[in-house]
Amino acid sequence: MALFTRKNCPALALVILSLILPLVITNKYFMHVIIMGYIWAIAVYGLNIILGYTGQTALGHAGFMGIGAYTAGLLNLKLGLSFWPAMVLACLFTAFLGWLAGIVSLRTRGHYFSIFTLCVGVIIHVVITRWDDLTGGMNGLIGISGPPPAGPVSFDSLQAQYYLVLFFLLATIFVAGRVVNSLVGRTLTAIKTSEELTEVLGINTMKNKIFAFVLATFFAGLAGALYAGYIKFLGPQMCSVSMTFDMLLYLFVGGNGTIAGPLIGSLVLSTITESLQVVQEYRTVIFGPILIVLIIFFPRGLYGGYEILRDRIRRRLPAREAPEGAKEEVC
Amino acid sequence: MDLFLQQIINGLTTGSIYCLVALGLTLVYGVMHLPNFAHGSLYMMGAFITLTLIKSSGLNYWLAMLASAVALAAIGIAAERLVFHPLRNAPHANNLIAAVGLLLFLEGLAHVIWGPEFWQLPTPYDRVVQFLGLTITQQRLFIVAATLVLLAGLYLFLKKTLVGASIEAMSQDRKGASLVGIKVSRVSMLTFAIATGLAAVAASLAGPINLVYPSMGHIVILKAFVIIVLGGMGSLPGAVLGGYILGLAESMGATYISMAYKDLIAFAILVLILSLRPTGLLSGGVK
Amino acid sequence: MLLSTVNLSKSFGGLMAVNSVDFSIKKGQIVAIIGPNGSGKTTFFNVVSGIHRPSAGKIFFNGEDITGAPVYERTLKGIARTFQTTTLFSNATVLDNVIVGHRLRTKTGFWDVLTRNRRFKEDERKCREKALEVLEFAGLSNLADRPVENIPQEARKRVAIAMALATDPQLVLLDEPAAGINFDETAGITELVRKMQKRGLTVCLIEHKMQMVMNLAEHIMVLNQGMKIAEGTPEEVANNKVVIEAYLGSDDDAEDD
Ligand SMILES: Nc1ncnc2c1ncn2[C@@H]1O[C@H](COP(=O)(O)OP(=O)(O)OP(=O)(O)O)[C@@H](O)[C@H]1O
Ligand SMILES: [Mg+2]
């Protein structure tokens, strides 16, 4: 039973918690907030791959989420495609554009790369805002249909929507987790630490960075498509540069370069924002300084801070630091 | 022909604003290697402070602008001390993120204090003049002239004073500068003060012809980044030249190509150039 | 010839950092490049390993022209190197550092890590085994789980060499492997280089410590201002007038032994 090892316990507990959450929460608005938190988290997992693990500060992420959302929305509205094929095509198309953007932008380094990708994001936003005939411009797209029933399961209720988004969130975390805990992930982290050394070790860094960028934009596209299917309305505001900054906030508060960071950041910040009136009003006035303080004192965010704390406690309690076997202990 | 001339004047006006903003951005980049994404919000703060001084205390336009520049210089110094100084040895992504944090804070603050409304900055130069057979508002001429004066002043400051020379030295070689005894910390603060002061003046100049609102800095800062990438990050002449070129390219593009996509011109130029030359237009190409 | 350069040059602006250098390394040899500071030794390595494009000339490896090949391809073909300022992956353990060193010999891709199939498991195992093997070889087994930030300088030098070895190279370029370490530690590194030769590797090292060079190298090339001013056995080079002049002429204070 490799599933129930001590290492997996917290994760498993969280999955179970997330599964029973809709039974506990009856407040519709709060459900909505959590669903949105999940959708953002999916996009932020993408950002985490390219920024957190590969060290490339890509700033066009909201733009790619917009591509995913608008592609899904337009395929549904203009071609009458149902949600599922529209979502698949939206992810693929976003990843394809990510690939195109990646092969040119990843040749630049450091700040040039950030500014380049920022501009790519702005271009996407401006085109979506101005291309009235296609995107509806400032008025946006209205009346996108949500997912049709899959067999006996209908997605009309809020609960069903929740499980749908949760499913894709878990899938995203699964994929991200498998990627980072592997030779592929090691390669990406190596690039983050020293691109030159990685290249000298015989690794085609460009190819790996492009892979990370494509995976990142794929997740952004997925988040966008889910957004379109859930909200059913799209306005250009959703892919503005401010949204990229929001995602940076989620990532860095939660823990950049950690597997739980994106989820923690997205969920914590969006629920705090929505549940405290004060916070809602002074949102960025509060979160801006928090971001600064975190980046100065805890560059790896809440989860990174938790890891440090956990390791320290473990070191204090050598009794628990049992050999290999303990990790496989049934919980 | 008249239309063409008119567009030249318009281009020079926006170019002047771009120049002043890009100069500050490139100064800070040169001296501290910091892409200050918050520079646009500092610009916005400058506009709002001028506006408030004029509206509430009835200060005269000039004095308000001056006071705003001083206030922004102080804010700039505070930002340098509190936010960027602690991060001077951190990986380069970190100070970029901190700048985003500062941006979020300043913009949120503007929302709280002044609300989301659009304001127009009153100016004493609101009359229309006939100039070379063209009809232009005085403010536009004033912007062009004021920018030229500021550029000349900055030039003299950097070239003729000791402090100015140390800024230049540091932007050329930070390590070397600290070796010859330049106080790195003090120069960083001064650079920030000049950069944010310039931004405040630029915003107060632009206020009467553009509108004043919390997110007014976004597009300006993005374009300033484009300009300094084109002109060479850290290069002052590059920022000036780039500013005017972009201003002119935009006003021409808006007239002769497409009004709706005018804002895209800058970003399209940048993407094109970085695609062809990943290390920027003016870099030597040697790693 | 394992490696040969023909008329190899590299200029930075007007400065000829490497100037028409013809040099060859036989398989199985230990060779050394010496020369005063700034004579172009590191630049020569940078051009051979592909970090810099040569301004002129050609590089052949196993008879194949690799002048235009990208850095990673040269490593794949069998040229590994270390850096003068020891470069490691910080925030990681010694073992993790070395594991990445064998990544180039694996093919695990996105699909494999997603499904955790046979290849994935095989490759993970291969990298770990290789890493443990070269750590053992480099005398680092007891430091495997230590973060590279808090191991001594000498151990860092060994980790850098271990990483190079993990790439399964034929030729290893070592840029000042004994800089900044003491006399005994230098002897240890010397021993390690010799062990590498016994394993059938070819080694080319840059070093200022003459005793180590004279002790190890079968063949020495002397660079001065980018030009090859002499080459031969240690005795030949040591007695060469031009070499002695070059060293006396430059007030070279890095020579500390
Ligand atoms: N990337 C570069 N750009 C410009 N000049 C360079 C570059 N790399 C090296 N140089 C110059 O080329 C010359 C040779 O430098 P190199 O580092 O190869 O010397 P070296 O023989 O390795 O010296 P040392 O013994 O001090 O390591 C020097 O004058 C150096 O300043
Ligand atoms: Mg050297």
Contact C13/B284, CB-based, under 8 Å? Answer: yes
- Rg (C-alpha) for chain B, rounded Å, is 19
Q: Which of A183, A196, A215 sits opposite C123 (nearest CB)?
A: A183
Give residue limits of the domains in chain C. Answer: 1-78+169-257, 89-166
Min Cα–Cα distance to chain B from A90, Å: 24
Task: Tell me whether residue A322 is in a domain.
Answer: no
CA angle C53, C59, C63 (to 5 degrees): 150
Closest approach atom of ligand 1 to CA C35? 21
Closest C-alpha residue for ligand 1 atom 12: C17
Q: The domain B2-276 is classified under which CATH number: 3.30.1330, 3.40.50, 1.10.10, 1.10.3470?
A: 1.10.3470
Pairwise pLDDT comparison (C148 vs A318), residue with the higher score: C148
Helix (H) or strand (E) holding A142: strand A141-142
Let me know: does A269 contact A250? Beta carbons within 8 Å. Answer: yes
User: Which pLDDT does position C253 carry in this prediction?
Assistant: 46
Ligand with an atom nearest the CA of residue C174: 2
Residue B83 CA to residue A291 CA, distance in Å, equals: 11
User: Which pLDDT does position A75 carry in this prediction?
Assistant: 92
Min Cα–Cα distance to chain B from C125, Å: 33
Read off the pLDDT band of A276 (50, 70, 90): confident
Task: Say if strands C15-25 and C227-232 run parallel, antiparallel, or are unpaired.
Answer: unpaired
Average pLDDT for C50-54: 94
Contact A289/B267, CB-based, under 8 Å? Answer: no
Q: A208 contacts in C (CB within 8 Å)?
A: none
Task: Tell me whether residue A329 is in a domain.
Answer: no
User: Which pLDDT does position B1 carry in this prediction?
Assistant: 59
* Segment 220-249 of chain A within 8 Å of chain B by CB: 241-242, 245, 248-249
For position A177, which CATH number holds? 1.10.3470
Task: Put residue A293 in one of left, alpha, beta given phi > 0 → left and psi -120 to 50 → alpha.
Answer: alpha
Q: Would you list the DSSP string of A282-303?
A: THHHHHHHHHHHHHHH-TTHHH
Residue A202 CA to residue C103 CA, distance in Å, equals: 8
Q: Would you list the DSSP string of chain C?
A: --EEEEEEEEEETTEEEEEEEEEEE-TT-EEEEE-STTSSHHHHHHHHHTSS--SEEEEEETTEE-TT--HHHHHHHTEEE--SS----TTSBHHHHHHHHTGGG----HHHHHHT-HHHHHHHHHHHHHHHHHHHHTT-GGGTTSBGGGS-HHHHHHHHHHHHHHT--SEEEEESTTTT--HHHHHHHHHHHHHHHHTT-EEEEE-S-HHHHHHH-SEEEEEETTEEEEEE-HHHHHT-HHHHHHHHHTT------
Mean of the per-residue pLDDT values of chain C: 90
Task: Tell me whether residue A300 is in a domain.
Answer: yes
Closest alpha carbon within chain B to A55:
B93
Buried b (16+ CB within 10 A) or exposed e, A26-55: eeeeebbbbbbbbbbbbbbbbbbbbbbbbb
* Segment 29-48 of chain B within 8 Å of chain A by CB: 29, 35
Q: Specify whether domain C1-78+169-257 bears CATH 3.30.360.10.
A: no
pLDDT at A324 over 70: no
Q: Ligand 2 center to residue B277 CA distance, Å? A: 29
Residue B41 CA to residue B107 CA, distance in Å, equals: 6
Q: A198 contacts in C (CB within 8 Å)?
A: 100
* Best of C9, C16, C41 for a ligand 1 pocket test (most atoms within 8 Å of beta carbon): C41
pLDDT at B170 over 60: yes
Let me know: does A130 contact A137? Beta carbons within 8 Å. Answer: yes
Q: Which strands, in side-by-side order, build the sheet including C30-34?
A: C79-81, C171-175, C202-206, C30-34, C219-224, C227-232
User: Which pLDDT does position C42 carry in this prediction?
Assistant: 95
Which of A35, A52, A33, A31 shows the shortest CA–CA distance to A247? A52
Count of domains for chain A: 1
Q: What is the pLDDT of residues B106-143, one digit of tens each?
A: 999 998 999 888 988 887 777 777 777 777 788 888 88
pLDDT at A322 over 60: no
Neighbours of chain C (3+ CB pairs under 8 A): A, B
Read off the pLDDT band of C5 (50, 70, 90): very high
Residue C175 CA to residue C157 CA, distance in Å, equals: 10
Q: Which residues contact A44 (CB under 8 A, 6 or more apart)?
A: A247, A250, A251, A254, A262, A265, A266
Task: Tell me whether residue A321 is in a domain.
Answer: no
* Best of B173, B279, B286 for a ligand 1 pocket test (most atoms within 8 Å of beta carbon): B286
User: Which pLDDT does position A329 carry in this prediction?
Assistant: 39
Question: 3-state class of B123 per DSSP?
Answer: coil
Q: Return the C-alpha torsion angle B15, B20, B26, B31, nearest 10.
A: 160
Question: 3-state class of A217 per DSSP?
Answer: helix
Facing residues of B134 across strands? B131
Let me know: does A59 contact B225? Beta carbons within 8 Å. Answer: no
Q: What is the pLDDT of residues A8-52, one digit of tens each?
A: 777 788 888 888 888 888 788 888 889 999 999 999 999 999 999
Residue C76 CA to residue C117 CA, distance in Å, equals: 25
Let me know: does C62 contact C247? Beta carbons within 8 Å. Answer: no
Ligand with an atom nearest the CA of residue C37: 1
pLDDT at A2 over 60: no
Pocket of ligand 1 (CB under 6 A): B 286; C 12, 15, 17, 35, 37-43, 84
Residue B258 CA to residue B224 CA, distance in Å, equals: 21
Q: What is the pLDDT of residues B3-23, one digit of tens each?
A: 788 888 888 999 999 999 999
Helix (H) or strand (E) holding A191: helix A183-193
Q: Ligand 2 center to residue C66 CA distance, Å? A: 23
Average pLDDT for B70-89: 92
Average pLDDT for C30-47: 93
Let me know: does B212 contact B47? Beta carbons within 8 Å. Answer: yes
CA angle A276, A282, A287 (to 5 degrees): 90
Ligand with an atom nearest the CA of residue C16: 1
Residue B270 CA to residue B257 CA, distance in Å, equals: 18
Task: Tell me whether residue A22 is in a domain.
Answer: yes
Closest C-alpha residue for ligand 1 atom 3: C12
Q: Which domain holds residue A55?
A: 6-316
Give the Å distances, CA to CA, from C154 to A78, B8, C42, C166, C255. 66, 65, 20, 18, 19
Min Cα–Cα distance to chain C from B182, Å: 27
Q: What is the pLDDT of residues A78-91, one digit of tens each?
A: 898 888 899 999 99
Let me know: does C43 contact C52? Beta carbons within 8 Å. Answer: yes
pLDDT at C252 over 60: no
* Best of C33, C37, C42, C253 for a ligand 1 pocket test (most atoms within 8 Å of beta carbon): C42
Give the CA count within 13 Å in the CB-facing half-sphere of C217. Answer: 29
pLDDT at B166 over 90: no
Contact B103/A292, CB-based, under 8 Å? Answer: no
Residue A58 CA to residue A118 CA, distance in Å, equals: 7
Tokens 């919390």 belong to residue: B214
Ligand with an atom nearest the CA of residue C33: 1
pLDDT at B157 over 60: yes
Tokens 């969006």 belong to residue: A270
User: Which pLDDT does position A325 carry in this prediction?
Assistant: 39
Closest C-alpha residue for ligand 1 atom 16: C40
Q: Amino acid identity of B256?
A: Y
Choose, out of C107, C113, C128, the residue to mutate when testing the contact with A (most A CBs < 10 Å).
C113
User: Which pLDDT does position A326 carry in this prediction?
Assistant: 40
Q: What is the pLDDT of residues B221-279, one digit of tens each?
A: 989 998 988 888 888 888 888 899 889 988 888 777 776 677 788 888 888 888 888 77
Question: 3-state class of A317 per DSSP?
Answer: coil
Lowest-pLDDT range of A324-328, B229-233, C174-178, C202-206: A324-328
Residue B32 CA to residue B40 CA, distance in Å, equals: 17
Read off the pLDDT band of A7 (50, 70, 90): low
pLDDT at A153 over 80: no
Task: Tell me whether residue A72 is in a domain.
Answer: yes
Pairwise pLDDT comparison (A280 vs A162), residue with the higher score: A162
pLDDT at C238 over 70: yes
Closest C-alpha residue for ligand 1 atom 17: C42
Instruction: Show contacts of C210-214: CB within 8 Å, 24+ apart.
Output: C210/C34, C210/C255, C210/C257, C211/C257, C212/C178, C212/C186, C212/C257, C213/C32, C213/C34, C214/C238
At A104, list the tokens.
């040119």
Let me know: does C79 contact C48? Beta carbons within 8 Å. Answer: yes
User: Which pLDDT does position B56 carry in this prediction?
Assistant: 86
Residue B249 CA to residue B241 CA, distance in Å, equals: 12
pLDDT at A3 over 60: no
Give residue limits of the domains in chain B. Answer: 2-276
Which of C74, C32, C77 shows the shortest CA–CA distance to C51? C74
Residue A48 CA to residue A255 CA, distance in Å, equals: 9
Residue C49 CA to residue C173 CA, distance in Å, equals: 9
Q: B89 contacts in C (CB within 8 Å)?
A: none
